[in-house]
Amino acid sequence: MKTLVASLILFSATVVYITIANKNTKQMTTKQKILKAFYPIIMWAGKSKKEAVYNSNQIKPLVDFYSFKIELNDGNILDMSTLKGKKVILVNTASDCGFTAQYENLEKLYQQKKERIIIIGFPANDFAQQEKKKDIEIAQFCKKNYGVQFPLAKKGVVIKNKNQQEIYKWLTDKSLNGWNEKAPSWNFCKYIIDENGVLVCFLPSATDPLGKEMKNALGLN
């Protein structure tokens, strides 16, 4: 009987917690609400994985980063050459991932530093089919629930295969970027490009956009 009561109390507390954590969400599925509520735990658990890779020798790319153009999810084209002089963060994103709540801190970082930093999200369905939405649905989801204003690319492929987007081929091929071969290992991996078009580092999913490691990589400390 005591075990049953304890289980009911735990269940009730969990329901209340999820409800409070999602008081400002709109048109989220039950799964999305649960993932958002337990995002802090997911982030904490993921920090034990040390996957970050840095361009410690400051190797320059063999193919110019600024030669690329990206189709955004609204059909417009973003020319990378217009981003010269800014740091660029490229993030592969998904709506049904445990790290989806990172949209909030990515947007905060963008709003705080958009004179110096541009963030570009790359929605992809490459990991556990966690981004099944269409482009317009993705944009609406991000805007309504996380206030996202930074650019989102047209949904595509970020992992290494024949359909991989050109910009991600550059990011994951050292014959193009000069040194890095590491592809995204899950949703919300980050690549940072400096003001001169040099790939600075790869940061794993559990890297908080407002955390110390990100700030160090961006030179904000």
142 is known as an active-site residue = no
How many beta carbons lie within 10 A of that of residue 165, not counting itself? Answer: 21
Q: Are 55 and 199 in contact (CB under 8 A)?
A: yes
Token representation of residue 197: 């078009």
Identify the CA nearest to 118 among candidates 187, 52, 192, 61: 192
Q: Are 191 and 89 in contact (CB under 8 A)?
A: yes
What is the C-alpha to C-alpha distance for residues 26 and 18, in angstroms, rounded to an integer?
A: 14
- Considering the candidates 97, 142, 189, 201, report the single residue annotated as catalytic: 97
| Beta-ladder partners of 191 | 90, 202
What is the C-alpha to C-alpha distance for residues 27 and 53, in angstroms, rounded to an integer?
A: 37
For 141-167, give the secondary structure using H, E and C. HHHHHHCCCCCEECCEECCCCCCECHH
What is the C-alpha to C-alpha distance for residues 138 and 206, in angstroms, rounded to an integer?
A: 21
State the catalytic residues: 97
